[in-house]
Amino acid sequence: MQLISTRDAGFEAAFTAILEDGRDTTTRVDAAVAEIIQSIRSEGDTALLRLTARFDGWAPADPTALRVTPAEVDAAIASVEPTLLEALDLAAQRIEAFHRAQLPADLVLPGADGVALGLRWNALDAVGLYVPGGKAAYPSSVLMNAIPARVAGVARLAMVVPTPGGALNPLVLAAARRAGVTEVWRIGGAQAVAALAWGTASIAPVDRVVGPGNAYVAEAKRQVFGRVGIDSIAGPSEVLILADGTNNPAHVAMDLMAQAEHDEAAQSILITDDAGFAQAVAREVEKALETLPRRAIAGESWARHGAIILVQNWEEAANLTNRLAPEHLQIMTADPQALFARIRHAGAAFLGRYTPEAIGDYVAGPNHVLPTGRTSRFASGLSVYDFLKRTTWVEANAVGLAAIGPAAVKLAEAEGLGAHAASVAIRL
């Protein structure tokens, strides 16, 4: 963990090193993924069965075994503790309410000059949802990916989830049912992404693939982009916490560790104006690492990528935040809204001492699928807009075409496109 101060002579170099910290996987998997995708394209279900046996450690008898039946989902839900189902339902209600409020309205401009204009929103026909099922299973990701798609009006939600040894996670299936997923497949990895993008005899292709995964999944999404849409190429998770010295150091330390326990490549950063508080948080982190179940992962993340930055004032903190453009931002100061007003780049913000980022991972309502690796400079979190597309329309009458057509003819002629010019002029 680095401890640096804006007063240090070498601060800019140290901060730049944090910005350029290469936390993405260094393993090159593009060739291997390309081979997997090509095998799915050329062999379809046959390749899917072979690759599932190879990577997931169980051999489906035929393609029908890859699909999870409604009876299996029913049995899985029945095995889940009722209080867990209640928590899942609360999360789903809040996520749906927030995303339903995002739904946009169509636009119509009548046009007194005889040219009416408009914009119409339409949902995608089919979406593929990738859900991790290897090192960990995340029912919350099912809700966050599927509910906005359903709210947007997507008719077909096809979920793929790797099942090592053939085992299904009951809570993941419960989340799928609650979120309105229409089909679930026991497949994962690059082969699942390829099957969603290109289709097989058993699995119809989709229009967009969303959801997190390992390096192979990320690379597969990169390679199928263009054939289908994707949400993003997600990197390791990150949190930036802006906290003053009036906070409880143990609270801030646990917030930092909540992000660090995701992955050895995750990044947790604290910015504060209080040197004593910085030291207290560092001590509390060491205490936490003695007891956390995932202390090995969190400890490596903190050692390799963690940082505490001392600033002289909150103006400096705001400027550094905009340069970091974090995925998650917690603001724990006396007036978090005032400081947030100066932040332009952040995937999601959590304001105040009682709003840990972890609440946003589950039950707050806004989506937890967010831009990583400083991409919040130009990207946003998942929303209903990712499952909608816009179609503009124009309707002109003779008077309207007479009013604006001559200008179109002039411009077309200037560009040397005679048929364009004639297509308008012939009507004038």
The DSSP annotation for 272-302 comes to ES-HHHHHHHHHHHHHHTTT-TTHHHHHHHH
Distance from C-alpha of 139 to C-alpha of 85, rounded to nearest angstrom:
11
Position 73 scores a pLDDT of: 96
Whether residue 356 is found in the same domain as residue 324: yes
User: In 3D, which of 139, 191, 161, 133 has the Cα closest to residue 68?
Assistant: 161
Residue at 116 is within a domain: yes
Per-residue pLDDT of the chain (428 residues; tens, 9 = 90+): 899 999 999 999 999 999 988 776 556 899 999 999 999 999 999 999 999 999 999 999 999 999 999 999 999 999 999 999 999 999 999 999 999 999 999 999 998 889 999 999 999 999 999 998 755 678 999 999 999 999 999 999 999 999 988 888 999 999 999 999 999 999 999 999 999 999 999 999 999 999 988 889 999 999 999 999 999 888 889 999 999 999 999 999 999 999 999 989 999 999 999 999 999 999 999 999 999 999 999 999 999 999 999 999 999 999 999 999 999 999 999 999 999 999 999 999 999 999 999 999 999 999 999 999 999 999 999 999 999 999 999 999 999 999 999 999 999 999 999 999 999 999 99
Whether residue 186 is found in the same domain as residue 77: yes
Position 27 scores a pLDDT of: 66
Query: Considering all CA atoms of the chain, what is the largest pairwise distance in Å, rounded to the nearest integer?
Result: 81
Residue at 389 is within a domain: no
Whether residue 312 is found in the same domain as residue 265: yes
Look at residues 199, 230, 261 and tell me which one is the last residue of a structural domain: 230
Q: Where are the alpha helices (DSSP H) in 154-188?
A: 170-179
Whether residue 267 is found in the same domain as residue 289: yes
What's the structural domain count of the chain? 3
User: In 3D, which of 185, 226, 198, 192 has the Cα closest to residue 212?
Assistant: 192
Whether residue 144 is found in the same domain as residue 58: yes
Catalytic residue among 327, 345, 357, 368: 327
Whether residue 113 is found in the same domain as residue 17: no
Whether residue 158 is found in the same domain as residue 210: yes
Whether residue 239 is found in the same domain as residue 93: no
Position 167 scores a pLDDT of: 86
Whether residue 122 is found in the same domain as residue 65: yes
What count of Cα atoms within 13 Å lies in the side-chain half-sphere of residue 289?
18
Look at residues 197, 230, 263 and tell me which one is the last residue of a structural domain: 230
Residue at 378 is within a domain: no
- Provide DSSP, 229-267: EES------EEEEEE-TTS-HHHHHHHHHHHHTT-TT-E
Residue at 106 is within a domain: yes
Distance from C-alpha of 67 to C-alpha of 74, rounded to nearest angstrom:
14
- pTM exceeds cut of 0.85: yes
Element (H, E) at 419: helix 418-425
328 included as an active-site residue: yes
Distance from C-alpha of 116 to C-alpha of 401, rounded to nearest angstrom:
11
DSSP conformation class of 386? G
What's the burial of 415, exposed, middle or buried (CB within 10 Å: 0-12/13-18/19+)? exposed
SS3 state of residue 120? strand
What's the burial of 85, exposed, middle or buried (CB within 10 Å: 0-12/13-18/19+)? middle
Position 134 scores a pLDDT of: 55
By DSSP bridging, strand 307-310 and strand 267-272 are parallel
Distance from C-alpha of 208 to C-alpha of 100, rounded to nearest angstrom:
20
Residue at 65 is within a domain: yes
- Domain at 357, CATH number: 3.40.50.1980
Do the beta carbons of residue 272 and residue 243 sit within 8 Å? yes
Contacts of residue 116, Cβ cutoff 8 Å, sequence gap at least 6: 108, 109, 110, 394, 395, 396
420 included as an active-site residue: no
Whether residue 327 is found in the same domain as residue 416: no
User: In 3D, which of 2, 27, 34, 28 has the Cα closest to residue 15?
Assistant: 2
Whether residue 150 is found in the same domain as residue 243: no
Distance from C-alpha of 392 to C-alpha of 116, rounded to nearest angstrom:
11
Domain that holds residue 420: 397-425
Position 24 scores a pLDDT of: 64
Residue at 385 is within a domain: no
Look at residues 203, 230, 257 and tell me which one is the last residue of a structural domain: 230
Position 235 scores a pLDDT of: 85
State the helix-helix crossing angle for 275-288 and 295-305, rounded to 10 degrees: 150
Whether residue 47 is found in the same domain as residue 19: no
Position 1 scores a pLDDT of: 86
Catalytic residue among 99, 328, 345, 368: 328
